[in-house]
């Protein structure tokens, strides 16, 4: 099993075995449980659905609505706060209830990490798309961060679909590919991942091992 869910705890410095200093993101990953298995016969694709962060308190699941509690009852697991699906080949052969933890990963492994980036709100074209600023001198007036021309003339007499304009920025799904695991603390379910990762602290991250 090469996938896991994690919670971003924050960033720190880390000295590698050779003494070099690396920026690391510290992630609390797992333990997770397989809640549902999707097969080609039944669902036309194969995937596993895994749950992360237990909602069980004193042998009872708390704050779970009826449809979801039935879903967890069918799987025979406790209720979870987060459910995410992973598609990969051979997923259909997994058994429901299998526990997933960081021991499936090794230090030095390369992984892909998917998360939701921080929301930036309504932003102009300069920040959102990296458009250039207009000149500050030579007669520029009223407009310094505008997008400039947004189209042609009589034809097409409209603005093309997908034209880059101001709008909501951030809160997008972002995948960072090929990042290295520098350290694993199995007893605390902690992994140190080199570099920065999408999203705010306490954000949920999907982690999968890179195919060799």
Partner 1 sequence: MDVNTLNREQIKADRPDFHAGDTLDVYLKIVEGNKERIQVFSGVVIQVKGTGVGKSFTVRKISNGIGVEKIFPLNSPFIDKIVRVKEGKVRQARIYYFRERRGKSARIAEAKKGKA
- Binding stretches for partner 1 (CB under 8 A): 9-15, 19, 21, 26, 28, 185, 188, 190, 192
Kindly state the smallest distance separating residue 190's Cβ from partner 1, in Å: 6
Determine the Cα–Cα distance for residues 2 and 36; give it in Å rounded to an integer. Answer: 16
Residue 32, strand partner residues = 52, 100
Q: Which of these, 86, 61, 81, lies nearest to 2 by C-alpha position?
A: 86
Q: In the complex, what is the shortest distance from the CB of residue 15 to partner 1, in angstroms, rounded to a whole number?
A: 6
Judged by beta carbon, residue 12 or residue 150, the one nearer partner 1 is: 12
Contacts of 85 (CB under 8 A, 6+ apart): 38, 47, 48, 49, 50
* Backbone CA torsion sign across 47, 52, 57, 62: negative
- Rounded CA-CA distance 181/123 in Å is 34
**Least CB distance to partner 1 at residue 150 (A):** 44
Backbone angles phi, psi at 68, to 5 degrees: -70, -40
- The residues, any chain, with a CB within 8 Å of residue 147's CB and separated by 6 or more, are 125, 131, 164, 165, 166
Which stretches of 19-65 are DSSP H helices? 40-43
Closer residue to partner 1 in complex, CB, 91/207: 207
Q: For partner 1, give the closer residue by CB, 17 or 162.
A: 17
Q: Which is nearer to partner 1, 15 or 45 (CB)?
A: 15
Least distance between partner 1 and beta carbon 28 (Å): 6
Nearer to partner 1 among residue 14 and residue 129 (C-beta): 14
Complete DSSP assignment for 67-82? HHHHHHHHHTS--EEE
Q: How far is the CB of 12 from partner 1 (least distance, A)?
A: 5
**At its nearest, how many Å lie between partner 1 and the CB of residue 188?**
7
Residue closer to partner 1 by CB (options 7, 55) is 7
């Amino acid at each position: 099993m090469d996938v896991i869910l994690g919670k971003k705890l924050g960033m720190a410095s880390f000295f590698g075995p050779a003494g070099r200093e690396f920026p690391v993101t510290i992630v609390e990953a797992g333990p997770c449980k397989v809640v549902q298995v999707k097969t080609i016969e039944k669902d036309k694709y194969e995937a596993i659905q895994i749950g992360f962060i237990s909602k069980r308190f004193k042998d009872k699941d708390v704050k779970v609505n009826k449809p979801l509690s039935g879903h967890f009852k069918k799987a025979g697991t406790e209720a979870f706060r987060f459910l995410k699906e992973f598609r990969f080949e051979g997923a259909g052969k997994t058994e429901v209830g299998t526990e997933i933890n960081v021991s499936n990963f090794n230090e030095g492994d390369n992984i892909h990490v998917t998360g939701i980036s921080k929301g930036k709100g309504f932003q102009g074209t300069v920040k959102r798309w990296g458009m250039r600023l207009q000149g500050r001198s030579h007669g520029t007036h009223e407009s310094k961060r505008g997008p400039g021309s947004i189209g042609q003339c009589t034809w097409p007499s409209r603005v093309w679909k997908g034209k880059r304009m101001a709008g909501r920025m951030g809160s997008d799904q972002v995948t960072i590919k090929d990042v290295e695991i520098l350290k694993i603390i199995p007893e605390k379910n902690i992994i140190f991942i080199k570099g920065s990762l999408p999203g705010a602290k306490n954000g949920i991250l999907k982690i999968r091992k890179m195919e060799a």
